[in-house]
Each structure stands twice: as structure tokens, then as C-alpha cells.
Amino acid sequence: MTGKTSILLLLFGLLLMTNCTENSTPRVDFEKEKAAILDVLNNETKAAFTRDYEGWKQKWVQKPYVTKTYINFADNTSTETIGWKEVDDFVRTYIEEHPDPDPLPTPIADIDVRLYGTGAWVSYEQKATNQGLKRETRLMEKENGQWKIAGMHTTIYRENND
């Protein structure tokens, strides 16, 4: 084999390997993933506020590592719930003790999303009728092709004075 032939075969092999590598890594449609995450967030909020326990539950990863934290500066309260059983018990008990729906906040339209494979870091602000301005951070995981919540941190800054 001549030197020219060897170089051409080497370049062809590298080109082939590059194409195989690119084709084996699925391309992520960021806007599609962001829209799917936004849909989960809005539907989870709707389920919680309308006291749809089963609908709320479907939006969550049900593993021992999930977390749910609230910090409310308006009334100086906070809660931290760690583990699916504890999160589930907390929300189910809250819904049982407060069966009347709350007014729905305006659906979230603008979120900041960072995708990490089958995980995502999401943050946004929302104004709720009964809570005022709040900042939310969610850790999302993709299970069986569906985005679900694995962690939630809510900070409520002030009561609504409107």
C-alpha cells in the first residue's frame, strides 16, 4: 500500500467514525423539551391547586431521593420534605385537610431550562393569587420518555397586595 492510499484510508476511516458517533447521539430539540417540561409544571400546579391528588402524583418521580422545600418570607414559615413517601404523605394530608380548591395562578409561560441528558434544572417566577410573588426551582427527570419532578424548591417573597 502506498503512503497516499494509507492516508486516504485513514481519513475515510476517521470520517466514517465521526459520522457513526454523530448518528448514535440523538439530537435534542431544546424547544420541544422545554415545552414538555412547561406542560408538566403547569399541569402539576393545576392538579395541586384543584386538589387532584392522582393528577398531581403522576407528575412526580416516586423515588426515595425526591425533595420538596418551601420557604415563606411573608409568614416566616418553612417546610422541608425528603423522600417520596414523605412528599406524598405531606401533599395527600394537605389535600385531605384543605379539600377546597385554591385559585389557579396564571400559567407559567417563561422558564429558564438547563438540560443534562435525562435531567433538567428549571427556574422561574410566578405570581399566585393567594401567595404573591414566588420563585421556584425544579429538578426534572425523564422517566419512560416523560418529564417528571424530582425536586422542588419554592421561595415565597411576599403576600399579594393587589
pLDDT per position as a tens digit, 24-36: 556 889 999 999 9
Residue listed under C-alpha cell 407528575: 59
Residues 60/143, Cβ–Cβ less than 8 Å: no
Domain residue extents for the chain: 26-156
For residue 22, what pLDDT is reported?
Answer: 46
Residues 153/125, Cβ–Cβ less than 8 Å: no
How many other CB atoms sit within 10 Å of the CB of residue 87?
Answer: 21
What pairing do the DSSP bridges indicate for beta strands 77-82 and 112-116? unpaired
For residue 25, what pLDDT is reported?
Answer: 56
Q: Going along the chain, which residue ranges are E strands?
A: 67-72, 77-82, 112-116, 119-128, 132-143, 146-156
Q: Which residues of 25-63 are buried (b: 16+ CB within 10 A; e: fewer)?
A: eeeeeeeebbebbbebbbbbbbbbbebbbeebbebbbee
Nearest one of 87, 110, 88 to 35, comparing CA atoms: 110
Angstrom distance (rounded) from CA 54 to CA 161: 32
Return the CATH fold of 26-156.
Nuclear Transport Factor 2; Chain: A, (3.10.450)
Angstrom distance (rounded) from CA 81 to CA 149: 14
Residue spans of the chain under pLDDT 70:
1-26, 128-131, 159-162
